[in-house]
Amino acid sequence: MSFPLKRIITALDFSPHSQQALGYGIALTLRFDAELYLFHSLFGPQDTFHNIDINRRPQGIARQTEEAREQMQALMESSPVAWRPLICNGPPVETIAGEAAHLKADLVVAAGHGLSVLQKLFLGRVVDPMARTLACPLLIVRKDEQAPLDLARPAGFKNIVAACTLRDDPDPVTAIGLSLAQAYGAELHLFHSLEAPLDETAVNPTSAPYSEVQQALYSQRLEALQALIPPQTREVCRTHAVVQPGMPAENLAGYCRKTRPDLIIVGVRRRSLMKKLMVGSTTEAILHQHRAHVLTVPLATPPANGREAG
The pLDDT tens digits for 202-232 are 555 555 566 777 788 889 899 999 999 999 9
What fold, for 7-141? Rossmann fold (3.40.50)
Cβ neighbours around 69 below 10 Å, total: 14
Does the pLDDT of residue 119 top 80, yes or no? no
Cβ neighbours around 114 below 10 Å, total: 22
- Specify the pLDDT at position 98: 94
- Specify the pLDDT at position 176: 94
C-alpha triplet 150, 152, 157: angle, nearest 5°: 75
C-alpha triplet 69, 109, 168: angle, nearest 5°: 150
What fold, for 159-298? Rossmann fold (3.40.50)
- For residues 85-105, give the mean pLDDT: 92
Does the pLDDT of residue 181 top 50, yes or no? yes
Q: Classify residue 47 by burial, with Cβ atoms within 10 Å: 0-12, 13-18, 19+.
A: middle
Residues of the chain with CATH 3.40.50.620: 7-141, 159-298
pLDDT digits (tens, 9 = 90+) for 250-307: 888 889 989 999 999 988 876 544 334 333 455 555 555 557 898 989 887 554 444 4
- The gap from C-alpha 7 to its chain's centroid, in whole angstroms, comes to 15
- Three-state secondary-structure class, residue 75: helix
Does the pLDDT of residue 47 top 60, yes or no? no
Residues in the chain, how many?
Answer: 310
Name the DSSP class of 176: H
Query: How far, in Å, are 154, 178, 187, 249 from residue 30 at the CA level?
Result: 8, 18, 20, 33
Say which residues have a Cβ less than 8 Å from residue 38's Cβ, sequence separation at least 6. Answer: 9, 10, 12, 22, 25, 72, 76, 83, 84, 85, 86
Nearest to 176 by CA among 94, 286, 270, 299: 299
- Specify the pLDDT at position 117: 37
Mean pLDDT of the chain: 78
Q: Give the strand pairing for 46-47 and 52-53.
A: antiparallel
Nearest to 267 by CA among 223, 308, 227, 230: 308
